[in-house]
Amino acid sequence: MASLLHSRGVSTREEAEAYLRPSYEHLHDPMLMQNMERAVALIKDAISKKQRAVVYGDYDVDGMCASALLCETLKSMGLKTIVYIPDRHSEGYGLSSGAIEKLAPQAELLISVDCGITSVEEVRFAKSMGMTVILTDHHTPPDKLPNADAILSPLLGNYPFPYLCGAGVAWKLSAALKGLEFAKSQIDLAALATMADMVPLTGENRVIASYGLTALGVTKRAGLQALKQIASIPQNTKLTSDQVVFQLAPRLNAGGRLSTAADALELLQTEHPARAEALAEELDKLNTRRKSEEKDVIEAAQAQIQPLDLMSKRSIVVAGEGWNSGVIGLAAGRLAEKFGYPSVVLSRDGDTCVGSARSAGEIDLFAALKTCADLFVRFGGHKQAAGLTIAFEKLDEFRERFDIAVAGQLPEGDLVPTAEYDMPLRLSLVTPENVAAIEKLAPFGVGNPSPMFLLEDAKVIQSTAVGAEGRHLKVTLQDGEDIRQGIAFSKGYLDGKLQGSHNVLFKMQINDFRGRMSAECMVRQIVSGTDAFETDAAEEAESILQDLSGDMPNIPNSEVPLLSEKDMTVEGFRGTLLLCRTGETAKKLRVKYPWMDIARGGTEDPQGFHTILYPSRISEIKTPFRRVILCDGLLHPMEAGLIRQLLPEAEICALHRSESVQKHLEHLVISVEELREAYIAARQEKSLQSLPWRQSKQQAALQILQELKLLTFHRFQGTISMLPVKKIDPSESRLFVRLHEAKEV
């Protein structure tokens, strides 16, 4: 526990006490926020003048919770208040002059929540319409602030905690207006928004989330009760942050993404259980539809990404006609997670593109976009996420300039995916008692992630693809004598590929199966360990036979420079493939380059990170590497031609041939007399099992005889069908000739 606290910046007993026991006493005085006193005075003045107010919000969970919360406060003070949430699809994010023109006759006071900090022209227009304007926002302030009557932001002035979400700022305003005791009754809404908006769960946010999760469990709000029921969350039990983020928030967001936010806002405000149930059911249906549309956009976006040179790029920008603007932010997040690049997904409507962006690594997304500000109709956001509108004709220029801006933030010019963990841990410590201890660090989220552990050089003794379409992977991990079960979400593609030892990043969790409690691992990453390669002589021989049987354009041997092991260098992070034909060589290179990616059989990574490939099949190399080093030497004088077919721009070089490959070739080469012997055995016995040869040599003989059209070998059935006898020269077999040529290289 001390180690976990220390990794979260907690270094004293007093800090640990505060961290493990969040308290309202740890909150800051709301009056410390710049302009808070002014905002409170303006609102009280509006009340005294019997004016009307409009709370202008946003269509996401943060904006809706902020809107409902502040409207509730203002109404309780006697101020006639309406809420206005713009339509994502027709109006877009933030204040708009069209909406303000409609609202001005209905209200004298305009209060924005979760938006407005960049709306210079819109605020000017509102004031020209006679409105008093208070902005409450948490997004990055521009260089020039709007001329509002008051602006509340934790990023302005010297407020002690800068990471409040939009509803957090509204909640502080509520506390300033009516006191903390009243604000406590709204902690469920403030916490729901805080966790859904992915702001750091430290400082004040940790207090809000901690108390809020308890409040959400026993909330009396009809809408939240109905929402929990439709999400199969038990009533009157404390929620977890995962339940909020993955079960409640997506359903609330679904309305604003696919339709309007009206239903979700009404759900948060209604006092009628029957109406709440109907609204919750409708949002649940929209959320199901949202998943389908999100999947369609991601698949279309990946089709655009497939031909891109991701080795040269450091960002992704894709655009599609008519993509649902309500799901493009989610799609951008998925792409950023998959490729490790800042990603922008744009929906084109005629000459205009509206998009969302998500960051990756340590890239400051807002700063990168700011360098392209002159290209946008509008944009806003923060370091991790942003939204933008741009003319279609400027899209190509944006792609280029944005990529340059991202690359400019990289000290080594590259963006290498990383995954952080708290500490190494042995499987013996994955116990129910330790899971319970870890829960004392909750609530978990951004800034306070659920503890991640590193298990080094574990064996995956069993793996099974599970779930719809085999998307997930169930694994059995072994560490010495200790064995634990684990689940790796979205890693079903690894089924059957986890050979050798592995380094595993995982979280601990409880598996409750029919009342039997056990601790298991929720696996986030699996990468090859120290003992990454298991030598397979049969597989090595098979790959040699396969490559020698393929088409080999005649490229002279002189075009493949020879390197010594001492002179072989690998610089940077990507572009080089170390092609190994033997496990002995692969293991040696793994020790020399422990940071390299590992691939088996072939490669598919479009980003081209340096890779050690074993066993190797040239035809299965799908990555456009710029350099290929044949680490067991040149197999055949024309081998380079086979590689050149796949990688026409790659530099190809080779080390001296290894003894292991030379021995393989000596065992595979077949003389004319041996070939005759194999043919006789095949005719008489329908098998070569009686020959005192290695299985790999038997396989070579059968392939040669099949090339000569003397028999047909059905490999999977293991049967031989003889063809009519004829006299033929063995040199008419490409494999026969190439084996002899290869042996003499």
First to last CA, the chain: 61
Give pLDDT, residue 133: 98
- Check: CB of residue 657 under 8 Å from CB of residue 566: no
Give pLDDT, residue 76: 97
Structure tokens at 318: 């894709």
Give pLDDT, residue 553: 74
Q: How confident is the model at residue 685 (pLDDT cuts 50, 70, 90)?
A: confident
140 — alpha (psi -120 to 50), left (phi > 0) or beta? beta
Per DSSP, the residues of 456-518 read EEEEEEEEEEESGGG-EEEEEEEETTEEEEEEETT-GGGTT---SEEEEEEEEEEEEETTEEE
Once rounded to an integer, what is the mean pLDDT over residues 310-323?
A: 94
Q: Which of 63-77, 306-320, 592-606 has the highest mean pLDDT?
A: 63-77
- Predicted confidence (pLDDT) per residue in 139-188, tens digit: 989 889 999 999 999 999 999 999 999 999 999 999 999 999 999 999 99
- Check: CB of residue 220 under 8 Å from CB of residue 276: no
* 3-state SS assignment for residue 712: strand
Q: Which CATH architecture has domain 423-528?
A: Beta Barrel (2.40)
Q: How far is the C-alpha of 141 from the C-alpha of 489, rounded, in Å?
A: 38
Q: How confident is the model at residue 514 (pLDDT cuts 50, 70, 90)?
A: confident
Q: Which amino acid is at 708?
A: L
620 — alpha (psi -120 to 50), left (phi > 0) or beta? alpha
Strand 576-579 vs strand 611-621: parallel, antiparallel, or unpaired? parallel
Q: Is the model's pLDDT at 451 over the cut of 80?
A: yes
Once rounded to an integer, what is the mean pLDDT over residues 215-240?
A: 96
Once rounded to an integer, what is the mean pLDDT over residues 529-543?
A: 90
Q: How far is the C-alpha of 186 from the C-alpha of 184, rounded, in Å?
A: 5
Q: What is the mean pLDDT of the chain?
A: 93
Q: Which CATH architecture has domain 27-283?
A: Alpha-Beta Complex (3.90)
Q: Which amino acid is at 226?
A: A
- Check: CB of residue 520 under 8 Å from CB of residue 485: yes
Structure tokens at 102: 């409609």
Q: How far is the C-alpha of 296 from the C-alpha of 188, rounded, in Å?
A: 34
Please list, residue by residue across 712-724, b when 16 or more beta carbons sit within 10 angstroms of its beta carbon and e when fewer do: ebeeeeeebeeee
DSSP-based helix, strand, coil % in the chain, nearest 5: 45, 20, 35
- Predicted confidence (pLDDT) per residue in 5-35, tens digit: 998 889 999 999 999 999 999 999 999 999 9
Give pLDDT, residue 623: 93
Give pLDDT, residue 369: 96
* 3-state SS assignment for residue 44: helix
Once rounded to an integer, what is the mean pLDDT over residues 216-238?
A: 96
Q: Which amino acid is at 102?
A: K
Phi and psi, residue 147, nearest 5°: -90, 60
Q: Which amino acid is at 8?
A: R
The candidate with the shortest Cα–Cα distance to 711, out of 696, 693, 698, is 698
Burial class from Cβ neighbours inside 10 Å (0-12, 13-18, 19+) for residue 509 reads middle
Q: Is the Cα dihedral 372, 374, 375, 380 positive or negative?
A: positive
Burial class from Cβ neighbours inside 10 Å (0-12, 13-18, 19+) for residue 137 reads buried
Q: How far is the C-alpha of 552 from the C-alpha of 742, rounded, in Å?
A: 13
CATH class of the domain comprising 300-408: alpha beta
Q: How far is the C-alpha of 203 from the C-alpha of 210, rounded, in Å?
A: 11
Q: How far is the C-alpha of 730 from the C-alpha of 726, rounded, in Å?
A: 12
- Predicted confidence (pLDDT) per residue in 249-300, tens digit: 999 999 988 888 999 999 999 999 999 999 999 999 999 999 999 999 999 9
Domains 27-283 and 537-664 fall in the same CATH topology: no
The candidate with the shortest Cα–Cα distance to 139, out of 157, 124, 118, is 118
- Predicted confidence (pLDDT) per residue in 465-493, tens digit: 999 889 999 999 999 999 999 999 989 98
Structure tokens at 411: 């000290």
Once rounded to an integer, what is the mean pLDDT over residues 726-736?
A: 94
Please tell me the least confidently modeled range out of 40-49, 109-118, 633-642. Answer: 633-642
Q: Is the model's pLDDT at 73 over the cut of 80?
A: yes
Give pLDDT, residue 722: 94
Give pLDDT, residue 230: 97
The candidate with the shortest Cα–Cα distance to 587, out of 501, 527, 504, is 501
Q: How far is the C-alpha of 173 from the C-alpha of 110, rounded, in Å?
A: 14
What are the domain boundaries of the chain? Answer: 27-283, 300-408, 423-528, 537-664, 670-743
Residues with Cβ within 8 Å of 203's Cβ and at least 6 positions away in sequence, in order, are 26, 160, 161, 163
Give pLDDT, residue 557: 54
Q: Is the model's pLDDT at 558 over the cut of 70?
A: no
Give pLDDT, residue 199: 93
Q: Is the model's pLDDT at 686 over the cut of 60?
A: yes
Residues with Cβ within 8 Å of 235's Cβ and at least 6 positions away in sequence, in order, are 217, 225, 228, 229
CATH class of the domain comprising 537-664: alpha beta
Q: How confident is the model at residue 555 (pLDDT cuts 50, 70, 90)?
A: low
Once rounded to an integer, what is the mean pLDDT over residues 611-618?
A: 94
Q: What is the CA 528 to chain-centroid distance, rounded?
A: 20
Q: How far is the C-alpha of 632 from the C-alpha of 641, rounded, in Å?
A: 17
Structure tokens at 90: 């027709």
Q: Is the model's pLDDT at 731 over the cut of 70?
A: yes
